[in-house]
Structure 1
Amino acid sequence: MRVRPHVHPGGIHAGELLAPDAELTRRITGYRANALDRALSPPSAPGATRRGVA
């Protein structure tokens, strides 16, 4: 599985735990949910590959 790091200026490690209602937290949570969805969802058609998965 390929991964892509995201750097958020002004963000701190685990900052979403300190500010659960912040806009950045919502964005980070969305990135994680999308990544998990792509990784755990089956390909949509025979012979298709999931994006980011070889």
Structure 2
Amino acid sequence: RLFEGAPRRPFSTVELWDRAEAAGRLAGFTHPGRWFHTGTPEALAIAEAELQHGQR
């Protein structure tokens, strides 16, 4: 439902998070497991390598 009514143009998902927060529909939770930053090609390569080799 987060993407319902999303703009039909390039946009930042921050717009969607802000809209969800304003509507009282934003929540979160603590994840106790592994977490990887994958926001760049370089970070994705590091995450893939760590998962493949069981590092971290």
| TM-score normalised by L of structure 1 | 0.29
Report which structure shows greater RCO (CA 8 Å, sep ≥6): 1
Compare CA radii of gyration and give the structure with the larger one: 2
| TM-score normalised by L of structure 2 | 0.28
